[in-house]
């Protein structure tokens, strides 16, 4: 009888153990919304502006992994002891996104200097906003374009949404953000020589209670399969990092 009870108890416990597998809290830049769940569908994702996520981690939010669209936030978090050493796992480029009908007749970035246009960019506190200002400076069109800015969004998804809905004539976004809205938008390339270096970094959050699983997640992102999915989503691939 005791043996039968033990067997029955094991039968009850094993499924619970399996169903209770670790689910990580992955804090990731908004531009990773489409690709990260494809790399691993089982985790809990929080997508937002990299600056917002970094602040939440500093304030004690229960994050296990932090992926930023700019090294600035992961490197500061590493310096201050919030994350383990970050690694670069992807790159990106900027484009100009316009509605599919393109009612303003925009054909190049220089057309954005025309008075009366409605342009949407990222707030200066988020990576997409910083990168946009860098490329405008490089092109020498900052003043004219900024005069046409009607909204500054806190993450890149806000920019994409306004352009796709026809609420703006143009917006500066990452190349990868255009793919999900390709049926409603058009893209205008920006000169390679003016592109700022856009590098994505990922790191384990030191306060995580699942450090081994968090490191395992980063291995998935940087694995051959993860890199293939990133490339398919339009991201550039840096040299594969060496993980500890």
Nearest Cα to Cα of residue 92 among 236, 239, 243, 242: 236
This prediction has a pTM of 0.86
Determine if residue 173 is left, alpha or beta; phi over 0 gives left, psi from -120 to 50 gives alpha, anything else beta: beta
Q: Which SS3 state, helix, strand or coil, does residue 21 take? A: coil
The torsion angle over the Cα atoms of residues 47, 49, 51 and 54, rounded to 10 degrees, is 0
Could you give the domains of the chain?
A: 22-91+198-232 (3.40.190.10), 94-194 (3.40.190.10)
End-to-end C-alpha distance for the chain, whole angstroms: 50
Q: Rounded to 5 degrees, what are φ and ψ at 229?
A: -70, -40
Which residues, in sequence order, are CB contacts of 128 under 8 Å at separation 6+?
31, 69, 121, 122, 155, 156, 159, 172, 173, 174
pLDDT along the chain (244 residues), means of 10: 41 42 94 96 96 96 97 97 97 97 97 97 95 98 97 95 97 94 96 96 97 97 97 92 66
pLDDT score for 21: 76
Report pLDDT for 240.
74
Tokens for 4?
């039968």
């Amino acid at each position: 009888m005791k043996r039968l009870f033990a067997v029955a108890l094991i039968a009850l416990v094993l499924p619970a153990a399996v169903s209770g597998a670790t689910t990580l809290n992955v804090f990731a830049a908004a531009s990773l919304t489409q690709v990260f769940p494809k790399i691993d569908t089982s985790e809990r994702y929080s997508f937002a502006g990299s600056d917002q996520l970094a602040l939440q981690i500093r304030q004690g939010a229960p994050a296990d992994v932090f992926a930023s669209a700019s090294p600035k936030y992961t490197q500061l978090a590493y310096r201050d002891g919030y994350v383990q050493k970050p690694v670069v796992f992807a790159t990106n480029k900027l484009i100009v996104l316009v509605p599919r009908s393109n009612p303003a007749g925009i054909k190049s970035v220089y057309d954005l200097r025309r008075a009366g246009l409605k342009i949407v960019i990222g707030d200066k506190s988020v990576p997409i906003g910083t990168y946009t200002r860098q490329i405008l400076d490089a092109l020498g069109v900052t003043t004219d374009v900024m005069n046409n800015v009607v909204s500054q969004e806190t993450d890149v998804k806000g920019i994409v949404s306004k352009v796709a809905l026809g609420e703006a004539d143009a917006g500066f976004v990452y190349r990868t953000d255009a793919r999900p809205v390709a049926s409603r938008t058009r893209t205008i390339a920006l000169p390679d020589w003016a592109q700022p270096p856009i590098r994505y970094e990922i790191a384990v959050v030191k306060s995580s209670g699942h450090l081994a699983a968090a490191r395992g997640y980063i291995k998935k992102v940087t694995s051959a399969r993860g890199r293939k999915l990133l490339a398919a989503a339009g991201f550039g691939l840096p040299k594969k990092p060496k993980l500890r």
